[in-house]
Amino acid sequence: MPPVFPPGPPRFPIPVISLTITFFSILVLSLKRPRFSFDRWFALFLISLSCLHIAHLVRRDFGQYYFDFFHISQLLFGPLFFLYLKDIFGIRIGKKDLVHFVPYLLSVVFFFALTSFEDMFRNVEYDLFFGRGNIVLKRLTFFSFLLYSTFSLYRIHKVENEMANPIIESIQFNWLKTIISLAILIVLYHAVSGFINGQSERFSGLFLPPIRGYDILVFTILFSVFGVRQSMIHSAWLLGQSFAYPTTKKKKYEKSGLEIEKLKDYVHAVKDYMEVRKPYFSSGFSLDDLADHLNLPRAHITQALNEVLETNFYHFVNEYRIREFILLLGSSGEEKPNFLSLAFQVGFNSKSTFNDSFKRVTGDTPSLYFLGKSKKNES
């Protein structure tokens, strides 16, 4: 009877830990109010990253097929992060940017075409592209990583040195450059270790230990933690609340290169849109919506409101809502109007926000304001 050895130590559950981290990061971004378009791009990036963790988990119960399919998501890392950078830098993303997803979509189509064979795992082409060999997918991923990492570093360098761009106030360039550089080093290490370990006859005695799994774990932690933090800081800056984040760099708006007359034109355009279209009646109206309708950069609208009107987007929009509330209150004709119901009609979505805004605009609470108005009417 062969000897029975005690079971070895349990394997470190990298996929479970990584997937949990990405799940909570995506949850934080989905619950964040308000959300911007760059939040969606970053959430999509995290979802594509989580596909690698899902691949390892589903292989145990469903087999190699699902493992191979979820690994195609590696081709999305570069495009999604690059588009996230463009958006957070205030560069408009158009339909032409969909070209970045062509390699991924073609790979998915090719994957399903190859899996239509009766015995796909014995198919040479399948093994070459997606199977255990997957030389093609590895090389595509390698070049995609290097290409988009280089483009991203170039974009960061360009924006960082544009003193005419007010966006530099709220972007933590160091964490972006560090993580991208780390990604490049990891990819290069995989390439070099794969080459050296695969040529054991030529490099006798030299062996580079694999880091597969741990590299993705580190990658997931860094991107999730610093990405969510960057989203919070930049969102606060766009809404004129950068004082809430002491890490936000303080740079003078004079460096933005926008003349005061240009800023006044922006404010005039914003006011015209608000007064004619009245978008503030929608509780979901956001700075992204305003920027899209006016075809202006978010950062320039923020700067115009701060410099010319000495206010932020939140206060600016809520002032319009308070004016509409007062008009509705005056025309209601009720002895005891439902303040909260009227507040919801003009675009507020919470009682506390309405009360704070009303107090800031009028100097009174809604009840005291209505009482004072009633006494004036009686006299």
- In this structure, the answer to whether residues 145 and 189 fall within a common structural domain is yes
Give a yes or no: residue 252 inside a domain: no
Given a contact cutoff of 8 angstroms between Cβ atoms, the answer to whether 320 and 280 are in contact is yes
Cβ atoms < 10 Å from Cβ of 357: 20
What is the reported pLDDT for 240? 64
Distance CA 56, CA 217 (A): 13
Expressed as residue numbers, the domain containing 264 is: 260-378
Residue 92, amino acid: R
Total number of domains constituting the chain: 2
Q: Read off φ and ψ for residue 345, nearest 5 degrees.
A: -65, -30
Domain-embedded: residue 251 = no
Domain of residue 72, CATH code = 1.20.1070
- 201 and 292 within one domain: no
Pair (229, 264) in one structural domain: no
Last residue of a domain, one of 215, 244, 273: 244
**pLDDT of the residue at 170:** 66
- At residue 37's C-alpha, the angle toward residues 33 and 42, to 5°, is 90
> 134 and 73, same structural domain?
yes
* C-beta neighbour count of 349 within 10 angstroms: 12
Residue 300, domain member (yes or no): yes
Q: Give yes or no for a contact between 38 and 231, defined as CB atoms under 8 angstroms apart.
A: yes
Burial of 60 (0-12, 13-18, 19+ CB in 10 A): exposed
Q: Is 66 a member of any domain? A: yes
Could you tell me if 108 and 221 lie in one domain? yes
Question: Do both 141 and 39 map to the same domain?
Answer: yes
Domain match, 159 and 295 both: no
**CB distance 220 to 16 below 8 Å:** no
Which pLDDT belongs to residue 81? 92
236 vs 238: CA distance, rounded Å: 5
The confidence score (pLDDT) of residue 11 equals 61
In a domain, 22, yes or no: yes
Answer whether the bond into residue 34 is a cis peptide, omega within 30°. yes
**Can you give the pLDDT of all 379 residues of the chain as single tens digits?**
444 444 444 466 788 888 899 999 999 888 887 788 889 999 999 999 999 888 888 887 787 888 888 989 999 999 999 999 988 887 888 889 999 999 999 999 988 888 876 665 567 777 778 877 678 888 898 899 889 999 999 888 888 776 555 666 667 788 888 888 888 888 888 778 777 766 666 666 666 677 777 788 888 888 888 888 888 887 777 776 544 444 444 444 444 445 778 888 889 999 999 999 999 999 888 888 898 898 888 888 888 888 888 888 888 999 999 999 988 888 776 777 888 899 999 999 888 889 988 988 888 888 888 887 766 666 5
DSSP 123: -
- Whether residue 52 contacts residue 76, with contact meaning beta carbons closer than 8 Å, is answered with no
Please check whether residues 157 and 286 belong to one and the same domain: no
Domain assignment of residue 9, yes or no:
no
Domain of 297: which CATH number? 1.10.10.60
Q: What is the pTM of this model?
A: 0.73
pLDDT, position 176: 85
Is 22 found in the same domain as 110? Answer: yes
Q: What is the pLDDT at residue 373?
A: 74
Of the candidates 244, 278, 300, which is a domain's last residue? 244
